Amino acid sequence: MPETRFADIRRFDSIDSTNRYLLDEARAGAPEGVVAVADHQTAGRGRLGRSWEAPAGANLLMSVLLRPDIGPGDRHLATTAVALAAVDAIGSLELPGGPVAPGVSIKWPNDLVDPAGRKLAGVLAESDLTPNTSAKGASAPGASANEQPAPVVVGIGINVNWPADEAELPPELRGLAVSLRQLVGAPVDREALLEAVLSCLEIRVDDLGSEDGRGRLAGDLLAACSTVGTRVRVDLPDGSFEGTAAGISPEGHLVVATVGATRTVVAGDVVHVRPGS
Ligand code: BT5
- 103 plus 159 within the same structural domain: yes
Taking the CA of residue 177 as reference, the ligand 1 atom at the shortest distance is: 36
The whole-model pTM stands at 0.93
Q: What is the CATH number of the domain that holds 204?
A: 3.30.930.10
Taking the CA of residue 54 as reference, the ligand 1 atom at the shortest distance is: 34
For ligand 1, the distance from its centroid to the CA atom of residue 53, given in whole angstroms, is 7
Helix (H) or strand (E) holding 112: strand 111-113
Residue 137 lies in a domain: yes
Write down the pLDDT at residue 96: 72
- 196 plus 245 within the same structural domain: no
User: Does the Cβ of 169 fall within 6 Å of ligand 1?
Assistant: no
Domain containing 32 equals 9-224
Lowest pLDDT segment from 25-34, 53-62, 128-137, 194-203: 128-137
Q: How far apart are alpha carbons 20 and 214 in whole angstroms? A: 27
Residue nearest to atom 11 of ligand 1 (CA): 155
- 64 plus 167 within the same structural domain: yes
- 246 plus 157 within the same structural domain: no
Residue 1 lies in a domain: no
Indicate the burial class of 159 (C-beta count within 10 angstroms; 0-12, 13-18, 19 or more).
Answer: buried
Residue 207 CA, distance from chain mean position = 16
- 185 plus 236 within the same structural domain: no
Mean pLDDT computed over 16-38: 98
User: Does the Cβ of 53 fall within 6 Å of ligand 1?
Assistant: yes
Question: What's the chain's average pLDDT?
Answer: 91
134 or 115: which leads in pLDDT:
115
Write down the pLDDT at residue 101: 54
20 pLDDT above the threshold of 80: yes
| Among the listed residues 133, 83, 138, the one whose alpha carbon sits nearest the alpha carbon of residue 110 | 83
User: Does the Cβ of 182 fall within 6 Å of ligand 1?
Assistant: no
139 pLDDT above the threshold of 60: no
Lowest pLDDT segment from 1-15, 46-60, 137-151, 249-263: 137-151
Write down the pLDDT at residue 49: 92
Residue 35 lies in a domain: yes
Q: What is the CATH number of the domain that holds 252?
A: 2.30.30.100
Indicate the burial class of 130 (C-beta count within 10 angstroms; 0-12, 13-18, 19 or more).
Answer: exposed
Write down the pLDDT at residue 144: 47
Residue 177 lies in a domain: yes
134 pLDDT above the threshold of 50: no
Residue 4 lies in a domain: no
- Portion of the chain with pLDDT greater than 70, in percent: 90
Residue 3 lies in a domain: no
* CB neighbourhood size of 79 (10 A): 22
User: Does the Cβ of 52 fall within 6 Å of ligand 1?
Assistant: yes
Residue 277 lies in a domain: no
User: Does the Cβ of 173 fall within 6 Å of ligand 1?
Assistant: yes
User: Does the Cβ of 84 fall within 6 Å of ligand 1?
Assistant: no
- 183 plus 268 within the same structural domain: no
- 193 plus 265 within the same structural domain: no
- 75 plus 137 within the same structural domain: yes
For 144-200, how does the pLDDT look when each residue is reduced to its tens digit (9 = 90+)?
456 899 999 999 999 999 999 999 999 999 999 999 999 988 899 999 999 999 999
- 209 plus 82 within the same structural domain: yes
For 110-127, how does the pLDDT look when each residue is reduced to its tens digit (9 = 90+)?
999 999 999 999 999 999
User: Does the Cβ of 174 fall within 6 Å of ligand 1?
Assistant: no
Residue nearest to atom 33 of ligand 1 (CA): 53
Q: Which of 10, 14, 52 for mutating ligand 1's site (highest number of atoms within 8 Å of CB)?
A: 52
- 181 plus 214 within the same structural domain: yes
- Count: domains in the chain: 2
SS3 20: helix
- 151 plus 134 within the same structural domain: yes
- 256 plus 142 within the same structural domain: no
142 pLDDT above the threshold of 50: no
Residue nearest to atom 25 of ligand 1 (CA): 50
Write down the pLDDT at residue 229: 94
